[in-house]
Amino acid sequence: MTSYARITGTGSYLPPRRLTNNDLAAELAQRGIETSDEWIVERTGIRARHFAAPDVGSSDLALEASRQAIEAAGITAQDIDLIIVATSTPDMVFPSTAAILQNKLGITNGCPVFDVQAVCSGFVYALTVADAMIRAGTARRALVVGAEVFSRILNFNDRTTCVLFGDGAGAVVLEASEEPGILASDLHADGSHVGILCVPGHVSGGEILGSPLLTMDGQAVFKLAVGVLDKAARATLDKAGLTEADIDWLIPHQANIRIMQSTARKLKLSMDKVVVTVDQHGNTSAASIPLALDHAVRNGQVKKGQHVLLEGVGGGFTWGAVLLKM
């Protein structure tokens, strides 16, 4: 049995179309919806986001991020023996986006692949599952991806939600190692809060029943998020035998700068230790944490040997945290 699973490569991809708040406000104005850069920044910290072209799916974004992660790990696609994709916006009802990604990567070794659906906590969930499978000896090199095209499920007549989200993908290669890597994790869910953040529609008989667009009670999400993220972070640190003082970097789900600031305060961390990409990416759901991690690795913030705490919260209601030694 392997002692640890370590991240050996990271990658990310954003679709080329970038919309600033002013760009989005101009588009919404054509629908009779009023908003502004000032209104969006004040409430969320978001200044821009990326939207995928109509013919681009989550698997396409995942493909580009995966190629970068595989290259960074110094391996080939055929070395991958497990693929887990976290997404709430799959290419199809089935098969999984992971299966589609496996084919696009040209992986023919028959490795297991599947999707994880935990919305904005999806990457934390997927990383925890991959870690467990590597420790159990059922995989040695896992590709773990968060990929989303949330622009497809936004209600552009609701300015309280449509300004929040963007599209993108982030990926990591997780490998069996005798060196410490993933030190601890903590996952939770409470299905009694299904209604505060959901897309309640589904396909039946060739028709959409219910609404296929995102709906959210922002205040309820905020109140829940701050409390559960703090508890998950502390539980994860306790499992690893570490404290807040040992955290070199906090990489939270990039949903709202206010939630991120509140979480940092509770952990007694300066915002200088928090990786922030929400201003340029918006909320990319399951893609937000791996996008931010790759950004921080490539610009030299996150370095080998540092302790990095990842945490996410999303519809379900799901939440969790993972502590890494890079």
Q: Is the dihedral of CA 31, 32, 38, 41 positive or negative?
A: negative
The pLDDT, as a whole number, for residue 3 is 81
The predicted-structure confidence for 98-139, as pLDDT tens digits, reads as follows 999 999 999 999 999 999 999 999 999 999 999 999 999 999
Which entry of 21, 50, 111, 120 is annotated as an active-site residue? 120
Tell me what the mean pLDDT of segment 257-274 comes to: 96
Query: How far from chain centre, in Å, is Cα 116?
Result: 11
Query: pLDDT for 131-171, tens place per residue?
Result: 999 999 999 999 999 999 999 999 999 999 999 999 999 99
Residue position matching structure tokens 């989550």: 58
The string of DSSP codes covering 61-114 is HHHHHHHHHHHHHT--GGG--EEEEE-SS-SSSSS-HHHHHHHHTT--S---EE
Q: Which CATH number fits domain 182-325: 3.40.47.10, 3.90.550.10, 3.40.50.300, 3.30.160.100?
A: 3.40.47.10
Which structure tokens are listed for 7? 């991240």
For domain 4-177, is the CATH number 3.30.70.260? no
Q: Which of 162, 256, 281, 283 is catalytic?
A: 283
- Spans of all domains in the chain: 4-177, 182-325
Using alpha carbons, list the distances in angstroms from residue 219 to 94, 224, 254: 34, 9, 17
Sorting pLDDT into bands at 50, 70 and 90, what band is 2? low
H or E stretch at 26: helix 21-29
Among left, alpha and beta (phi > 0; psi -120 to 50; other), residue 309 is beta
Q: What is the pLDDT of residues 40-96, one digit of tens each?
A: 999 999 999 999 999 999 999 999 999 999 999 999 999 999 999 999 999 999 999
Residue 299 annotated as catalytic? no
Q: What is the pLDDT of residues 206-252, one digit of tens each?
A: 999 999 999 999 999 999 999 999 999 999 999 999 999 999 999 99
Q: Is the pLDDT of residue 1 over 70?
A: no
Q: Would residue 202 show up in a list of annotated catalytic residues for this protein?
A: no
- 4-177 and 182-325 in the same fold: yes
Task: Please pick, among 50, 253, 295, 307, the residue that the annotation labels catalytic.
Answer: 253
Active site residue 155: no
Structure tokens at 264: 């940092």
Say what the pLDDT of residue 282 is: 98
For residues 17-26, give the mean pLDDT.
Answer: 98
